Structure 1
Amino acid sequence: MKKNKSNRSPLILFYILVGYVFIQFCWWSFLIYDLNLEVHELQLKLDISNKIEFERALKANIWMILGEGTVFLTLLFLGFYQVKKAFQREVALAEQQRNFLLSVTHELNSPLASVKLYLQTLLSRKIDEEKQRQILSNALSENERLHKLVDNVLIATRLDNSTFSLYFETIDWSEFVKQTITNNPKSKNRLTTLNIEHNIVAPIDKTALGSIINNLVENAIKYTPEEKEIICSLSQNKDEILLQVIDQGQGIPENEKANIFKKFYRVGSEETRKSKGTGLGLYIVHFLVKSLNGTITVKNNLPNGTIFSVTFPKGSLQNHHS
């Protein structure tokens, strides 16, 4: 509550300033109008023969005041509207960045604490070989999780700075997608079904494609109950390659679908949100898909869940490669 009040304080001061300018404008307009009437009455007393001309001049002055006043008020309210919109955007961005920092702090601390605990366990106890392998496997999984988080932050930074370059090479998409999903530690203990068409060969940047796949799969895992199935499919036709990730999670409200690809965007506040994440994954996916001249769409998976569909035009991939 205190944070909201502090965010609104500059806007309240701006409202007061705009109100003050408006009142001053009205006051000075009234004074000018009243002054014109006094001048008109004085002119009539001095020279009654030119009454019609004086009245015409008075009307001209009144219309001038009304015209200039209308222009001034229009500009004032347009400026007020634009400043208010800009302020609201800055507040929203600051809130998203705050959520991002809170999330990253947690996401960095969690795997580091886990790895530390695993190593302390190995040092302080005599453990049989099987348990040692399990502990080391868990530590490697946490390390991989940390690596992917740092990767996402670095990729997002490179995208913002326009220093992310694409390097195309011809690969077997079918095998690459299968290996990427299979090797993702988060998908190993989940019910994941692969519907992958064989022998899909085309040029692509492997780093970009791997990031797209991993972020979409991890997003699906994040919001899908453990007992529910996640489907990953890859297919092609004459002109396009289609990658789909289908989950059975909680779905995405219609009013938020337009925002999910924005940087740092996550539903709700970081203190109350249960799912882990930084708000970078789908932003990176969207940016990379656009860089590859592809398209990404999101729709409901009835009765529950979401379908992310990524389409890559074959002609565009070939042009990039050549």
Structure 2
Amino acid sequence: MPLILIVDDTEDNREVLAEMLNAKGYDTQIAVDGMDGLDAIERELPDLILLDVGMPRMNGFQVAQVLKSDEATRHIPIIFISSQTGVNDKVRAFEVGGVDYITKPFQLQEVLARVESQLMMAQQRKEIQALSAHKDELIRIVSHDLQNPIGIITGYAHLLIEEVQMIAPEATHLVTWLETITESADYMMSIVENLLDVARIERGLPLMFQSLSVNDLLDQAFRSFQLMAQDKGIQLNFSPLKQDVIIEVDKSRIQQVIHNLLSNAIKYTPSGGVVTLAAHMTDSLVKIDVADTGLGIPEKDLPHIFEQFYRINTIEHRESKGTGLGLTVAKGIVEQHGGQITVSSQVGQGSLFTVSLPLNRAAAPAS
């Protein structure tokens, strides 16, 4: 059972609290003042502390400061129990790390309810930390134990394609099979990269800011997708800023966002359709639009498309490969730039994704 340390210089309070908690099955320790409490904690870490404020030698606020400054004890929840009812005292209690504050004379049922609530939250925090540790280990496995073999598969498949084309150029079926292997390996690698990016974003994605022309950035993306659009019979348009600006962003990450949006737009737009990459400005934002005349997104799916692993459940969307992570990653990247990504869509008419990036890092108009 959880161990609860009661630190109070009044004997009656200690006895009443200990009797109640013991009756509920909790183990208790008793300390007669702050110094005695620290000694008890050094001998055995409690799961929760009921801490009086006004005590000789060391008051409760001082005890809390000592505990919160030590890595070994800072996680222990502290509930203050005090006859001091002023707002300043309560605020001070939370400032030094308390999780709750009960005024004397206290009601036993109230104390019990608050103790049980804090113990439950402490247990939940431990479980979350354990899950986080497991996730970190999974990320390590994914980043090393999967990336390397996939890279080897891709490399050898490309070598075999070259060998077959030189030795047996008539064996086109072998080349087709090997190309299928490389495409599947590339798809697996994209899944791995997306999983790693989700984890990096949750931790705080490191960004390498540099000054870039908005129009140059978008023009590079436009040129990268011209062939893909042409092969599918889609008209790809580009509308740059009328007056270019220099903005500070992480180039590779913002390119990743734009490439994801353009790739999706072309993927879900049928032959004969149109995809448009455009930029415009407000007083404080650069806005990048990716619009298409494709399948569109059902209204019920719109609130969920940025969620991890979310896939639109229509026949047309199921026929296209996807991890359900690309938009999650894009949203995380944009938000860590201080921006926002939004979407509007109508089924059968197409979709419009807008990336809004703040201009607070932008310099003067580009020449």
TM-score grouping bracket, smaller chain normalisation: 0.5 to 0.7
Q: 1:303 to 1:289 in 2, by over 3 A?
A: same
State the secondary structure of the residue aligned to 1:168. Answer: strand
1:218-233 alignment to 2 at 5 Å?
Answer: 218-222=263-267, 224=268, 226-227=270-271, 229=273, 231-233=275-277
Instruction: Give the gaps of 5 or more residues in structure 1.
Output: 1-16, 19-24, 31-62, 260-264
Higher Cα Rg, which structure:
1
Distance in 1 between residues matched to 2:154 and 2:304, nearest whole Å: 30
Distance in 1 between residues matched to 2:241 and 2:360, nearest whole Å: 20
Instruction: Give the gaps of 5 or more residues in structure 2.
Output: 3-19, 26-105, 312-317
- Which of 277, 297, 300 in structure 2 is aligned with 1:251? 297
Distance in 2 between residues matched to 1:317 and 1:122, nearest whole Å: 51
Distance in 2 between residues matched to 1:110 and 1:226, nearest whole Å: 32
Aligned residues: 243
TM-score normalised to structure 2 length: 0.47
Q: In the TM superposition, what is the alpha-carbon distance from 1:203 to its structure 2 partner?
A: 0.9
State the secondary structure of the residue aligned to 1:167. Answer: strand
2:161 is aligned with 1:118:
yes
Identity over aligned residues, as a percent? 15
Distance in 2 between residues matched to 1:167 and 1:155, nearest whole Å: 23
Q: In the TM superposition, what is the alpha-carbon distance from 1:66 to its structure 2 partner?
A: 3.5
**1:33 maps to which residue?**
none
Question: One-letter code of the match for 1:180?
Answer: A
**2:231 maps to which residue?**
189
Distance in 1 between residues matched to 2:241 and 2:119, nearest whole Å: 63
State the secondary structure of the residue aligned to 1:214. Answer: helix
**1:236 maps to which residue?**
280
**1:55 maps to which residue?**
none
Distance in 2 between residues matched to 1:201 and 1:78, nearest whole Å: 52
What CA RMSD, in Å, does the superposition of the two structures yield over aligned residues?
5.3
Instruction: Render the CA deviation track for 1:10-62: whole Å, top value 9, x for unaligned.
Output: xxxxxxx89xxxxxx999359xxxxxxxxxxxxxxxxxxxxxxxxxxxxxxxx
2:356 is aligned with 1:311:
yes
Instruction: Render the CA deviation track for 1:197-250: whole Å, top value 9, x for unaligned.
Output: 46441113444443332122123344x165373522313245343211234246
- Which of 286, 292, 296 in structure 1 is aligned with 2:331? 286
Distance in 2 between residues matched to 1:105 and 1:28, nearest whole Å: 58
- Which of 158, 168, 177 in structure 1 is aligned with 2:211? 168
Q: 1:151 to 1:214 in 2, by over 3 A?
A: farther
- Structure with the higher fraction of residues in helix conformation: 1
State the secondary structure of the residue aligned to 1:243. Answer: strand
- Structure with the higher fraction of residues in strand conformation: 2
Distance in 1 between residues matched to 2:117 and 2:169, nearest whole Å: 79
The higher-RCO structure (CA 8 Å, 6+ apart) is 1
Distance in 1 between residues matched to 2:116 and 2:204, nearest whole Å: 40
Q: In the TM superposition, what is the alpha-carbon distance from 1:91 to its structure 2 partner?
A: 11
CA contact (8 A) 1:234 1:241 kept: no
Q: In the TM superposition, what is the alpha-carbon distance from 1:298 to its structure 2 partner?
A: 2.3
TM-score normalised to structure 1 length: 0.52
Distance in 1 between residues matched to 2:272 and 2:152, nearest whole Å: 29
